[in-house]
Amino acid sequence: MGYVIAWLIYLVMTVLIQLGYERYLTPYLAEQRQLRIFLRSLLAILLFTPGVVMSGEGVFVVPACVGVMFNILAKSPYGLLQAALPLLLVAAVVYGILFALEARGSRESAA
């Protein structure tokens, strides 16, 4: 039960952080649309990507950024790579899609 409560608290806090970004940082980046989208997606990737941590007690799904930090503190290079892979995979997919959409939009505006 504590595991579920911890996840709910984490999700509420990440949504509040995302909303805080939208409210307080986005007005300063009004003219820089690409930078605003990049930062918004980077924040979402770091906060919402799940990762898997294997310990002696079992396998747990944790936020990937927390798994990376835990493995840095534990000085486990293999675990660090394993925890960072979901972040890298999600970042590659998201930025690939954003790049394709941007290329498609610039092609349509040129035509």
pLDDT tens column, 59-70: 888 888 888 888
Task: Count Cβ atoms below 10 Å from residue 102 Cβ, excluding itself.
Answer: 13
Q: Residues 63, 50: contact at Cβ < 8 Å?
A: yes
Instruction: With residue 12 as reference, give the H or E element that holds it.
Output: helix 2-20
Q: What is the pLDDT of residues 31-61, one digit of tens each?
A: 888 888 888 889 989 888 888 877 778 888 8
| pTM, full prediction | 0.78
Lowest-confidence region among 4-8, 10-14, 33-37, 40-44: 33-37
Q: What percent of the chain has pLDDT over 70?
A: 99
pLDDT for the residue 66: 84
